[in-house]
Amino acid sequence: MKLLAELVLLSLTTILANNYVLVKFLGICPFLGVSKKVGTAVGMSVAVTFVMTVASVVTYFVQMLLVHFNIEYMQTVAFILVIAVLVQVVEMAIQKFSPALYGALGIYLPLITTNCAVLGVALLNVQESFDFVHTLVYSFSAGLSFMLAIVLFAGVRERLETADVPKALQGFPIALVTAGLLALAFLGFSGMKF
Amino acid sequence: MSNLKELTKGLLKENPIFVQFLGMCATLAVSTSVINGIGMGLSTMVVLVASNIIISLIRNFIPNKVRIAAYIIVIAGCVSAVEMALKAFVPEVSKSLGIFIPLIVVNCIILGRAEAFASKNGVVKSALDGIGMGLGFTLALCILGTIREILGNGTFLGIQLFGEGFAPATIMILPPGAFIVLGCVLAIINLITAKKERSDK
């Protein structure tokens, strides 16, 4: 029971108070790049959440191997390799088993390799020395926090299309200021004590 | 002459942050103070120069199909070396930049330059391109860091600028400030370029 409560807390903190995109600044590139429409934002974040969770599980065991052979300094190289291979495998698997889903996610899948949120989660899991269950919950919540941020932001941006924005602010600058206001809202959660 | 151009284009004309919008994660996260900006900028520059040189040296041996994977391995190797060097020589910087040092691997600037420049050009040019882009990145980080540190903390490079009564706008060094400052700086750059174009006509 105590473990369950702790895991729920960890998950809520990761999604709200320590939001990956808006508070920790991980995964900003896709956050700004594929947030023009809600539909694509949902597709991208589902793919990211999936890869993130699987990558964290795999890197958990890779880290054990690294520690066993005393080569922790290879961490960065090993992790990025695992993620790159994994993204490729996931891409092929989805293509084979669910062509419909592949059609919807296709172009976003390769982009995930260079999404710093995925490598970030893998590294943070090690830094926080989470056990297996915590790793699983933490990385899944990280994916959800990415989803929450990008879907909210896409919703705002869809409305921004029709807004009358000063010329100098059009496009990228206004998107950044909007993200800033969104981050301000999320800052409110950090005052919450769970 | 053309070599000089490779060096200077990264500073303003093709500035990685302000013009190409690359490497946003690191930019937003570490621009809380000038010193962090310099640390991150220089580390990225070292990786960029090293990876550009190596990739341009081996560019003719890499099969086209696995080139991205090969680039990532080269970059990851360089980043690991820089990470260890920082930990050994400047532990404070390494601590305050934290997880963003290993995350240089996935910084789009580096892979972007490898793919767009180093894989097509000679060693000298690639090295100069790396230095230029690295300096441009550092410059942009310093500008953002200066604004955020002065507004958010009332200091510059850790030196107190205002009197005792100054109440800093802490929000500027918190995450929302990063987005807002970068948005405003980009808007100002847009204004200046628009004005310049008008006066050119």
Domain residue ranges in chain B = 3-200
Residues of chain A with pLDDT under 50: none
Q: Do the chains contact at A172 and B184, CB–CB below 8 Å?
A: no
The sign of the dihedral angle between the CA atoms of A147, A152, A153, A158 is: positive
In this complex, the residue of A74, A166, A177 whose CB is nearest that of residue B179 is A177
Q: How far is CA B6 from CA B11, B35, B42, B137, in A?
A: 10, 27, 18, 15
A-chain CB neighbours of B77 within 8 Å are: 77
- CB within 8 Å: B188 and A76: no
What SS3 state is found at B160? strand
- The pLDDT of residue B24 is 81
Determine whether the interchain pair B171/A184 forms a contact, defined as Cβ–Cβ distance below 8 Å.
yes
Contact indicator for B130, B48 with CB cutoff of 8 Å:
yes
Q: Quote the pLDDT of residue A89.
A: 82
Q: Is B155 helix (H, G, I), strand (E, B) or coil?
A: strand
The per-residue DSSP string of B48-73 comes to HHHHHHHHHHSTTTS-GGGHHHHHHH
Q: pLDDT at position B195, please?
A: 86
Confidence at residue A151, expressed as pLDDT on a 0 to 100 scale: 92
Evaluated on CA atoms A31, A35, A38, A44, the torsion sign reads negative
| CB-based contact B194 A24, cutoff 8 Å | no
Do the chains contact at A32 and B21, CB–CB below 8 Å?
yes
3-state secondary structure A113-140: HHCHHHHHHHHHHHHCCCCHHHHHHHHH
| Sequential pLDDT tens for chain B (201 residues) | 477 777 787 777 888 888 877 878 788 888 888 888 888 899 999 999 999 999 999 888 888 877 878 888 899 999 999 988 988 998 888 888 888 888 888 888 888 888 888 888 888 889 998 999 999 999 999 999 999 888 887 778 777 777 667 777 778 888 888 889 999 998 998 888 888 888 877
CA distance B84 to B52: 20
What single-letter DSSP state applies at residue B172? G
Provide the pLDDT for residue B1.
47
**Is residue B99 within 8 angstroms of chain A, CB to CB?**
yes
Helix or strand (DSSP H, E) at A12: helix A2-12
Structure tokens at B113: 């330059």
Q: Which two tokens stand for residue B49?
A: 């120069």
Q: Which of A121, A108, A93, A91 is nearest to A43 (CA)?
A: A108
User: What single letter denotes the amino acid at residue A128?
Assistant: E
**Run of H or E including B156:** strand B155-156
What local confidence, expressed as pLDDT, does residue A148 receive? 92
CB atoms within 10 A of CB A49: 20
Compute φ and ψ for B176, nearest 5 degrees. Answer: -60, -35
Distance CA A93, CA B136 (A): 41
Cα B37-B140-A168 angle, rounded to 5 deg: 135
Tokens encoding A59: 């890197």
Q: Which two tokens stand for residue B60?
A: 């003719």
**Distinct helix (H) and strand (E) counts, chain B:** 8, 2
Chain A and chain B share a number of CB contacts under 8 A equal to 115
At A105 the pLDDT is: 67
Residues in chain B: 201
